[in-house]
Amino acid sequence: MTPPRAKSKPVFDPSALNDDLDDLWPGKPTAPPRPQPVATTAQPSPSPPPVSAQAAPPSAAQAPQPPVAVPSPAAPAPRLRSVSAAAAAGEVQTRYRPPEVLLSAEVYDALYHLQITEKKTRRGLARPMGAIVLDAIEKHADQLATTWDAMEDTVGEGGLFARPSSSAVPRRRRHAVAPRTVVLSGVNAANGRRLDELVPAWGAGTRSALVEQALRYEFNLT
C-alpha cells in the first residue's frame, strides 16, 4: 500500500491573488449618501367647518331677497291752471292782480292816447296806465278831497224842495256808451290798498268814480 502523499505547498499565495483580482475587477457603484431628515414642526391642518346633520336644500337655506326698487320715471310738472279754475277750487292765489276800474269812453280814449304818445317819445320810460292814474290822483289830491263835499242837497229858489248842487260831481255816472274796463297795471298791492282807502275818505263812493274824476281833472274834461 502506497503511503499518502503529503500535500505540497502552493506555489502562489492564494491570498495575494485574491487582492490582485479585486483590483482588476471594476468597482461597484457607490450609493449616494442619503439625505439627513430635517426636523420640522408639524402645523395643524385647518379643520373643515362643521356640517350640520341635516343640510337644508339650497333653495330653502337662502333667505328671500327683498324686491329691488325700480326708480319710476319722473312725473311731468303740473300745468299752471287758470285764475278762474284756481278760484273755483278755493285756492289762495299768491300772485297779485292789479285793481280794475270802469272808465267812460272819452276818459279812456284820452288815457290811451297819452300812453301811446309816451311809448313813442319816452321809449322805455313810458308809464303804464296804473302809474298815470296814481300821478293824476297825487297831482289833484287837494281838489279831489273836496270834490264830493258839495253833494249835500240845497234848497232851490222856490224854497220848497231841496235839490243837489249844480256843481256836485256824481258818485255814479250814467254812460251813453258802454264803459271800458281798465286794469291799473303798475299798481302794487300796497298802492292798491291805499287807493281803496281814499275812496271812503274823500267820499268818492267807488274806486272807478275816484279814478274817473282824477283823469277828468288831468285831461281838462268837464
What is the rounded CA–CA span in Å between residue 23 and residue 44?
55
**pTM for the complete prediction?**
0.53
| Residue 100 phi, psi dihedral angles, 5° rounding | -120, 155
pLDDT of residue 212: 94
Write down the residue that cell numbers 299798481 correspond to.
187
Domain residues of the chain, as ranges? 97-219
What is the rounded CA–CA span in Å between residue 188 and residue 99?
9
Count of residues making up the chain: 222
Residues 6 or more apart whose CB falls under 8 angstroms from that of 45 comprise none
pLDDT of residue 95: 85
pLDDT of residue 42: 54
- Hey, what's the cell of 100? 280794475
What is the rounded CA–CA span in Å between residue 209 and residue 30?
140
pLDDT of residue 48: 58
Average pLDDT over the chain reads 74
Q: Based on the number of CB atoms within 10 Å of its own CB, is 131 exposed (0-12), middle (13-18) or buried (19 or more)?
A: middle
- Hey, what's the cell of 189? 298791492
Residue 111 has pLDDT above 70, yes or no: yes
- Hey, what's the cell of 220? 281838462
What is the rounded CA–CA span in Å between residue 98 and residue 95?
10
Note the pLDDT tens digit of each residue in 11-54: 555 565 555 555 555 555 555 566 665 555 555 555 655 555 45
Decide which of 89 and 138 is more confident.
Answer: 138
- Hey, what's the cell of 91? 285756492
Mean pLDDT within 164-168:
58
In angstroms, the first-to-last Cα distance of the chain is 205
Give whichever of 80-84, 88-92, 131-135 has the largest mean pLDDT. Answer: 131-135
Amino acid at 129: M
- Hey, what's the cell of 184? 291799473
pLDDT of residue 177: 76
Cα Rg of the chain (Å, integer): 64
Concatenated DSSP letters of 80-125: PPPHHHHHHTTPPP-S----EEEE-HHHHHHHHHHHHHHHHHTGGG
